[in-house]
Amino acid sequence: MHKFFQSLFITALAVFAVAGCGAASPPTATPLLATPSPATPPPATHVSITLLTEPAPAQACMDALAQGTLVPDPRSGLALATSTGERMPVMWPFGYSARLVDGEIELVDGTGAFVAREGDVIQIGGGSGANGLFYACAEGIQVVG
């Protein structure tokens, strides 16, 4: 009889275990939220712009000062637009260059460093010379606004 109760006890435990668990519910799927990856800007596109430059490093520099907004110019590549609306083409120093970067023209010095971009107000040391050009000195170019 002892084996009978032991067997009945085991059966009862099994019934409780199944009844206690209830009907197995299907696992619920937890939606994965897509985490947007940080936007990686495309690499800058560089296009060279023809810039009128001195053929050799200057031995001396004139002592005048010109100021204006850096604007595209068909004659010198980049010119200064003065407050009166006059456009002053510039003979840029030896080694300077210009490039189009994402739709804007940038002025770059002889070492490849950025100097200014189209629309910046700059001051240029130098002086007026032949053909109505302003001859810029490398040491005298700075953004003022």
Size of the chain in residues: 145
**Burial (Cβ within 10 Å: 0-12, 13-18, ≥19) of residue 122:** buried
What pLDDT band is residue 43 in, cutting at 50, 70 and 90? low
Domain holding 106, by residue range, is 46-143
Decide if 135 is inside a domain. yes
**Does residue 86 carry a pLDDT above 60?**
yes
Decide if 31 is inside a domain. no
Decide if 122 is inside a domain. yes
Decide if 109 is inside a domain. yes
Averaged confidence pLDDT in the chain: 79
Q: What is the mean pLDDT of residues 127-140?
A: 92
Decide if 61 is inside a domain. yes
The rounded distance, in Å, linking the Cα atoms of 90 and 75 is: 9
Decide if 7 is inside a domain. no
Decide if 26 is inside a domain. no
More confident residue, 135 or 3: 135
Domain count, the chain: 1
Decide if 54 is inside a domain. yes
